[in-house]
Amino acid sequence: MENEKQEFTITVYTENQVGLLNRIAIIFSRRKINVESLNTSPSEVQGIHRFTIVVVESKDVVIKVVRQIEKQVEVLKAYYNTNDEIVWQELALYKVLSDEITEKVKVERLLREFGARAVAIRKDFIVFETTGHREETNKLMEALAPFGLVEFVRSARVAIIKESAGFHEKLKDFEKREPGDELIENEYLGKREAVFTM
């Protein structure tokens, strides 16, 4: 089980610093781990950035990688979660030719079925948008392909950890010179199952 590869979502809270993206990317590339998706964004706390990284790896490897990430000076905390522990979305954009849409009612029905929105309507083309899991956005792409999908692009995964209480309180602890007992950093040592969970 520990060595079976599966999808893990790694959430990293960091300072906003030039070059940190590279420092984190190096940790994966050095071990020849392919990053499936990577997103950086602000977090719930002002001034703190949040990376969301998706990899397909064994738990063993993910634990080691997460510890290496956390070791970086400008990283505050890193978590890893399996898909059942998170709520996640990806956004996809599809460009199709207007002629195809207007002429073929079938396409319109397809779009309804997949809950897509039109975000730009031009004389020559229309851009649709969907959000969802990869399988969902993939399905629309496959469905549109026969009708001349001109462009397709999908964003990285963004994810919310179901059990997380957010980072506001943790950050207060990080700012203290002498951290309180609440900030139990070696919580995972010897408690293999509770590693890095909140």
Q: Contact residues for other proteins (CB under 8 A)? A: 14-15, 18-19, 22-23, 26, 30, 63-64, 67-68, 70-71, 73-76, 171, 174-175, 177, 179, 181, 184-186, 189-190
Helix (H), strand (E) at residue 83 = none
Least separation, in Å, of the C-beta of 189 and other proteins?
4
Q: Give counts: helices (H), strands (E), the chain.
A: 6, 9
Q: Smaller CB distance to other proteins: residue 55 or 171?
A: 171
Q: Where are the alpha helices (DSSP H) in the chain?
A: 20-30, 59-71, 98-103, 105-113, 134-144, 168-175
Please report where in the chains the tokens 């905390």 appear, as a residue. Answer: 77
Least separation, in Å, of the C-beta of 29 and other proteins?
9
Q: Smaller CB distance to other proteins: residue 63 or 159?
A: 63
Q: Smaller CB distance to other proteins: residue 34 or 186?
A: 186
Least separation, in Å, of the C-beta of 34 and other proteins?
18
Least separation, in Å, of the C-beta of 61 and other proteins?
11
- Cα dihedral sign for 184, 167, 48, 10? positive
Question: What is the C-alpha R_g of the chain?
Answer: 20
